[in-house]
Structure 1
Amino acid sequence: MDMPSLSRRDALAGLAASVALAALPAAAVAVPPTPAASLLDRLAWQLLELEPPEATRLGLDTGPHAALRGRLEDRSPAGVEARRGFLSQALADLARVPRGGLDDPTLTSLAVTESAFRTALDGMKLPYGVATIGSWRNTPYAVIQNVGAWLDVPELLDGDQPVRNADDAEAYLERISAMAAQLDGETVRSRMARERGLVPPSFLLDKTIAGLTGTLAEAPLPGGPLIGPLVRKAGTVPGPWSDRAARIVRSRVLPALERQLAELRAQRAVATDAAGLLSRPHGSEWYAWGLRAGTTTRRTPAEIHAIGIAQLADLQKQTDSILRSFGLTDGTIAERATALQHRPGIAFSNDDEGRRQIVAYMQGRIDAIRPRLPRAFRRLVKGNLEIRRMPLAQEAGAPAAYGGPGSLDGSIPGRILVNLGDPSIHNKVTIPDLVFHEGIPGHVWQGEYAQQLPLIRSILAFNAYSEGWALYAEQLADELGLYDDDPAGRLGYLMGLSWRAVRLVIDTGIHAMGWSREQALVEFTAATGLPRSNAESEVDRYCAWPGQACGYKLGQTEIVAQRDRAKAALGARFDLRDFNQAVVDGGNVPLDVLGGKVTRYIAMAKG
């Protein structure tokens, strides 16, 4: 059902407190927004104009904003310049807002928005890359194995794009048509980067070329990634939608895909196997920004590398103890962990039945944690969640799974999209912490709280907080007893922590110390015991998104440090539910803003 033509703030207020509002006189409800609130709302809608798919994801492309449903963002150099202009003006407007008399949530929202916009603008001043605002997919490469319209548009069409009537079907066709210009914009930026000496690693280009070639072959098919979702979703909506979509794909999209493929092949002709940014023009400068964006700290690569090594050593001691309890005493930790994952009753079959069982096991872990959540939170959200296989074209360059919340009105559920291309990467060791991280009480759960904040806060994301929270969610699952009778799951939890700790070592090793891909793969498998195919997907992701992988463990480490600080300050008055509620209610924030939120929580708890 479409949302009415209200501001998003009014709509959320009605959803969150309808009973209380109904009991108040009309005059008490009609409170005009403050200048700060009005500015934040205006900036949010301006940002959605620049990023129309985000409006669709949030379910806000309705009423006066319905035109957003048929548009895509401009990824050309002109589109990047438009974002720069928006950010510069927005920062000037934010600087003029008087702070006196504003409440804490509004002050936090202003600080969060200013931080996100300034970081994004600094990134867009770099010689290449970074065409997004408030996103975790920061990359110097306009098109690579896990970035580009060739992936993003099919995922949008298959997932969040609604087709309930003829207008929706027309919007779907408009988005397919707009894909051609988006592809060409990326191709221009890729060519400009190549001319400046920036070329991705050869092994990433090989994956990208293979994926794009597959998309070219599948795109014109009735069941392909562009036409198939329309056929499935249109259902009883009368009209020649499939035929019209096929004509657009053949006449516009395929030529643009071919032009992009030609550029990627030109890059491959001059590419090397150097994995990181250290060997690329402006690489150190870009990586410093990538770490800043990915961690919301100013920690140096050397500091981050040392933190990873120290945490990994402690985690591997705990992992060794559990492996010995399974009778696995000979070999490295990685060898023993791998052996356990192949035992009968732990692994799933490498076929469609195994894929079905994987999804069912994931759902079972979500069902198990739901009744325990009142022990960790004062106020529960719904946790609207479904588990689905990610689009096939995406699987080769994607992680094991990823997740996030659904639309604001609940019509689109939150999702865990699971990579089932190689079922062997999933088993009863690896699945529990994965679903707690991506789903509940991780990304999907935290995202539903964030959606109750002003619209701008639902759009902007800080990798260190969101991924740090998701990793902290795995810790909460342990503290709530989910592993008490599941030693295999506990092993997976510790392996997952090791995985995130070794990311600090590998990401900095690749981009600041000149590590090769093979050296990174050896370090990853030795630390985690995960399969080679998983290792390759992970390491290649670090090569494509420099700095992003460091946000997980640094974010979780900071949340735990803030919890320890609160415990020390409050003593017997500390309550886990209140701390968690303060952190999750504060929304997605940079880590320094998180510290301020906890300081205010401590003061309130002391009375």
Structure 2
Amino acid sequence: MFDRRRFLAVSIAASSFAASGQALAQTAPAATASSGDAALTAVMDKIVRQMLMTSPETLTSLGLDKGPAAVMKSRLDDRSLAKIEADKIEFNGLMAELNAIDRSTLSSASKIHYDSVKFFGDTAQEGQAFPYGGGLFPSPYTVSQLSGAYRSLPDFLDSQHTIETAEDAEAYLSRLSAMGTAFDQETERMLADFAAGAVPPDFVIDKTTVQMDAMLNADPAGMTLVTSVARRAADKGLEGDWAGRALAIVNETVLPALKRQRDTLAAQRPNATHDAGVWRLEGGDRYYGYGLKFFTTTDMTGEEVHQMGLEQVAELSARADVLLRAQGLTEGTVGQRIASIANLPGQVYSNTDEAKEQLIADLNVQMDACMARMPEYFGRLPKSACDIRRVPKDIEAGAPGGYYQGPALDGSRPGAYYINLRDTAEWPKFTLPTLTYHEAVPGHHFQIALQQENPDAPILMKVLGFSAYTEGWGLYSEQLADEIGMYANDPWGQIGAIQSLMFRAARLVVDSGLHYKRWSREQGIRYMVETLGDQESAVTTEVERYAVWPGQASSYKVGHSEWVRLREQAKATLGDRFDIKGFHDVGLAAGGVPLKVLEGVINDWVAAQA
């Protein structure tokens, strides 16, 4: 079943778009247009209009809830089973139109667009064969510690629903009232998952209900759902009892629906197993293969992923051993020695709000220092700025350690990199620069902002993304920061960079371990703690994440390995003619594409340079 919001935001979280009058699709430049380009443009335009323009939440995320579409600003997406089934039929019709286009009639730029959308469509349609989950994004559980309206809507309303006028505030309250329906619709879908045998593991149910209980047991008057509209309306001088009205809706509609969802999930706890992998589900082995294909954009098997992970962990551990010995750390395993760095004086910030503010200030210094070097390595630089923010306290218990949110396409809202500060012990100082290079500069912020700012890209290609490309670039950016000397006077930070790569290599091992090798949750946690020396609390969150998103954790290192392979191959072919700026610019100008498409883009560039 098709979830349109995931289609347009699977790798790019919450970008936004300019004023509602801007064209929704852009044709290729006339000089490069071929006979089939108009047909492709028409299909891509339909995808944008039919799969985006009918989604109120996506319209808001893209800044299109203005003008004639302003009525959509007071609505939430229809999350019902019936709507998802209708979306699937619509999506399949669009893919049939795409498949009817003769690829040989397309220009070179349009072939990139065609191949990317076709790969996505073909893979998404594979997911329709399974009777559980959304049928698109490979997660067999509608609601988990990482997914569901209870997690996404509070932040969506706070950070993406803009409030400039009284009408905007009224629209906020209308959406708040609709949250009860959204929860109930997802509860209906949960029950369908359960009927198909997709009951989450017991630890997923436990973590999810703990997060829900935190919301249910909180003082409603202090919830972000209530305070956000009141604070922002006051900032704009909008008179009215916004807090009181929001509080009444939360008490009368939102919390009762959340309680129903929580109780429905908790009722399955006696039926849940402790097995973490999807192998236990009907068609589970095939489902993991679908997840790997969707996220890595390759045909790698679980066995190939596992072996790649073991080999890369061994190679990176050897490199880390050399660096550790240079700092006098010679006793214990590599993981134990890396863990011991956190115990050095001054490595861990105090676990106080004041210290966490200082941590974010220090990250800004690191980001600015790296940004100053970027003109040496990129011909195009993002116009959008990047903010560094703390993950909202409401969701930090189950949220990832860090993630990126894209800027507005018109530059009206900066990009943002979020760091989870539930416990500062999870982020000793030697690990922080690498996170900044991955999430912000030159990582996700560069890749996503430049994709959105590309004047030649159709709107669909500004927002479509693939995890292997995006996360692979994030890891490549970590390596690039090391190569250009960002750790020249920071040996601990350099060890942190190697640990980060080891962490992603270990993900290959554990992701395939859970879903292919049939490892237990505890086996995965033990492997990562022993290999990496990370805090068990952080590792536990990671392993539990892999359990609900099969294949996603493998996309990082697979993508990184391909970015590096393509660069080294280009350097070997071009020799002195290799231009690092050109490599970066052409790779990022492609937009978020499958790895095979990226290979073709780079190979064409190399041929042109040669």
TM class by shorter-chain length?
over 0.9
* Residues 404 and 417, structure 2, Cα contact 8 Å, conserved in 1: yes
1:367-425 Cα distance to aligned partner (Å, 9 max, x none): 11111111211121224211111121211111111013211112221111111111111
1:289 aligns with 2:284: no
Matches within 5 A, 1:512-523: 512-523=516-527
Q: Which amino acid aligns with 2:72?
A: L
Alpha-carbon distance in structure 2 between the residues aligned to 1:203 and 1:47: 34
Which has the higher mean CA deviation after the structures are superposed, 109-118 or 206-215?
Answer: 109-118
Question: In structure 2, do the counterparts of structure 1 residues 443 and 404 end up closer, same or farther at CA, with 3 Å as the change threshold?
Answer: farther
In structure 1, the residue matched to 2:14 is: none
- Corresponding residue to 1:97 among 77, 85, 101: 101
1:186-206 Cα distance to aligned partner (Å, 9 max, x none): 111211222232211111111
* Residues 405 and 445, structure 1, Cα contact 8 Å, conserved in 2: no
In structure 1, the residue matched to 2:32 is: none
Matches within 5 A, 1:144-223: 144-218=144-218, 221-223=220-222
SS in 1 for 2:348: coil
1:352 aligns with 2:353: yes
Question: In structure 2, do the counterparts of structure 1 residues 467 and 321 end up closer, same or farther at CA, with 3 Å as the change threshold?
Answer: same
In structure 2, the residue matched to 1:70 is: 74
Q: Which amino acid aligns with 1:548?
A: Q
Please give the root-mean-square deviation of Cα atoms over the aligned residues, in Å: 2.0
Q: Which amino acid aligns with 2:217?
A: A
SS in 2 for 1:473: helix
Alpha-carbon distance in structure 2 between the residues aligned to 1:151 and 1:276: 23
SS in 2 for 1:417: strand
In structure 2, the residue matched to 1:20 is: none
1:265 aligns with 2:281: no
* Residues 43 and 94, structure 2, Cα contact 8 Å, conserved in 1: no
Matches within 5 A, 1:546-565: 546-565=550-569
* Residues 468 and 556, structure 1, Cα contact 8 Å, conserved in 2: yes
> Cα distance, 1:348 vs. partner?
1.0
Q: Which amino acid aligns with 1:464?
A: A
Matches within 5 A, 1:449-464: 449-451=450-452, 452=454, 453-464=457-468
In structure 1, the residue matched to 2:118 is: 114
* Residues 347 and 424, structure 1, Cα contact 8 Å, conserved in 2: yes
Alpha-carbon distance in structure 2 between the residues aligned to 1:98 and 1:244: 56
In structure 2, the residue matched to 1:592 is: 596
> Cα distance, 1:8 vs. partner?
4.2
* Residues 220 and 250, structure 2, Cα contact 8 Å, conserved in 1: no
Question: In structure 2, do the counterparts of structure 1 residues 276 and 9 end up closer, same or farther at CA, with 3 Å as the change threshold?
Answer: same
> Cα distance, 1:308 vs. partner?
0.5
SS in 1 for 2:417: strand
In structure 2, the residue matched to 1:298 is: 299
In structure 1, the residue matched to 2:406 is: 405
Which has the higher mean CA deviation after the structures are superposed, 278-287 or 594-603?
Answer: 278-287
1:454-489 Cα distance to aligned partner (Å, 9 max, x none): 111233221111111111111111122111111111
* Residues 146 and 394, structure 1, Cα contact 8 Å, conserved in 2: no
In structure 2, the residue matched to 1:25 is: none
Question: In structure 2, do the counterparts of structure 1 residues 438 and 550 end up closer, same or farther at CA, with 3 Å as the change threshold?
Answer: same
Question: In structure 2, do the counterparts of structure 1 residues 4 and 294 end up closer, same or farther at CA, with 3 Å as the change threshold?
Answer: closer
> Cα distance, 1:585 vs. partner?
0.5
> Cα distance, 1:288 vs. partner?
1.1
Alpha-carbon distance in structure 2 between the residues aligned to 1:110 and 1:181: 37
> Cα distance, 1:491 vs. partner?
0.7
Which has the higher mean CA deviation after the structures are superposed, 551-560 or 326-335?
Answer: 326-335
1:376 aligns with 2:377: yes
Q: Which amino acid aligns with 2:339?
A: T
Question: In structure 2, do the counterparts of structure 1 residues 440 and 8 end up closer, same or farther at CA, with 3 Å as the change threshold?
Answer: farther
Alpha-carbon distance in structure 2 between the residues aligned to 1:302 and 1:62: 49
In structure 2, the residue matched to 1:60 is: 64
1:478 aligns with 2:508: no
Which has the higher mean CA deviation after the structures are superposed, 87-96 or 286-295?
Answer: 87-96
1:538 aligns with 2:537: no
Aligned residues between the structures:
582
Alpha-carbon distance in structure 1 between the residues aligned to 2:58 and 2:486: 34
Alpha-carbon distance in structure 1 between the residues aligned to 2:539 and 2:599: 34
1:126-147 Cα distance to aligned partner (Å, 9 max, x none): 1111255xxxx63100101111
* Residues 333 and 527, structure 1, Cα contact 8 Å, conserved in 2: yes
Alpha-carbon distance in structure 2 between the residues aligned to 1:51 and 1:462: 21
In structure 2, the residue matched to 1:321 is: 322
* Residues 201 and 273, structure 2, Cα contact 8 Å, conserved in 1: yes
Q: Which amino acid aligns with 2:587?
A: V
SS in 1 for 2:416: strand
In structure 2, the residue matched to 1:436 is: 437
> Cα distance, 1:9 vs. partner?
5.0
> Cα distance, 1:115 vs. partner?
1.5
* Residues 179 and 253, structure 1, Cα contact 8 Å, conserved in 2: yes
1:339 aligns with 2:355: no
Alpha-carbon distance in structure 2 between the residues aligned to 1:459 and 1:258: 34
Alpha-carbon distance in structure 2 between the residues aligned to 1:447 and 1:577: 17
* Residues 18 and 62, structure 2, Cα contact 8 Å, conserved in 1: no
- Corresponding residue to 1:82 among 79, 82, 86: 86
Which has the higher mean CA deviation after the structures are superposed, 580-589 or 272-281?
Answer: 272-281
1:419-446 Cα distance to aligned partner (Å, 9 max, x none): 1111111122111111111111111211
> Cα distance, 1:241 vs. partner?
2.3
1:507 aligns with 2:511: yes
Unaligned runs of at least 5 residues, structure 1? 18-32
> Cα distance, 1:99 vs. partner?
4.3
Matches within 5 A, 1:233-272: 233-235=232-234, 236-272=237-273
Which has the higher mean CA deviation after the structures are superposed, 93-102 or 490-499?
Answer: 93-102
SS in 1 for 2:404: strand
In structure 2, the residue matched to 1:22 is: none
Q: Which amino acid aligns with 1:226?
A: L
Question: In structure 2, do the counterparts of structure 1 residues 4 and 515 end up closer, same or farther at CA, with 3 Å as the change threshold?
Answer: closer
Unaligned runs of at least 5 residues, structure 2? 1-16, 30-36
Alpha-carbon distance in structure 1 between the residues aligned to 2:52 and 2:152: 16
Length-normalised TM-score, structure 2: 0.92
Q: Which amino acid aligns with 2:545?
A: R
Which has the higher mean CA deviation after the structures are superposed, 196-205 or 582-591?
Answer: 196-205
1:271-307 Cα distance to aligned partner (Å, 9 max, x none): 1211111223321121111111111111100001000
Alpha-carbon distance in structure 2 between the residues aligned to 1:399 and 1:123: 25
SS in 1 for 2:403: strand
1:183-230 Cα distance to aligned partner (Å, 9 max, x none): 112111211222232211111111100101111233x72320311211
> Cα distance, 1:66 vs. partner?
2.3
In structure 2, the residue matched to 1:228 is: 227
> Cα distance, 1:86 vs. partner?
2.0
Q: Which amino acid aligns with 1:398?
A: A
Length-normalised TM-score, structure 1: 0.92
Question: In structure 2, do the counterparts of structure 1 residues 328 and 383 end up closer, same or farther at CA, with 3 Å as the change threshold?
Answer: farther
1:103-140 Cα distance to aligned partner (Å, 9 max, x none): 322221122112212222221331111255xxxx6310
Alpha-carbon distance in structure 2 between the residues aligned to 1:7 and 1:217: 46
> Cα distance, 1:496 vs. partner?
0.3
In structure 2, the residue matched to 1:569 is: 573
> Cα distance, 1:240 vs. partner?
2.7
* Residues 87 and 118, structure 1, Cα contact 8 Å, conserved in 2: no
* Residues 50 and 83, structure 1, Cα contact 8 Å, conserved in 2: no
* Residues 341 and 347, structure 2, Cα contact 8 Å, conserved in 1: yes
SS in 2 for 1:444: helix
